[in-house]
Amino acid sequence: PIDLSSLEEQFSWAEIVSAIKRSPNNRSPGPDGFTNEFYKCFKETLKPDLLNFFSDFHANNADLSGVNSASIVLLPKKEISMEIKDFRPISLVHSLPKLATKFLTTRLQLWIPKLV
Q: Note the pTM of the prediction, 2 decimals.
A: 0.75
**Above 90 in pLDDT, residue 2?**
no
Average pLDDT of the residues in 62-86: 86
- Strand residues in 1-116 grouped as ranges (E): 70-76, 87-93
CA distance 37 to 49: 17
pLDDT of residue 110: 87
Q: What angle do CA 52, 56, 61 make, to 5 degrees?
A: 150
Write down the pLDDT at residue 73.
Answer: 87
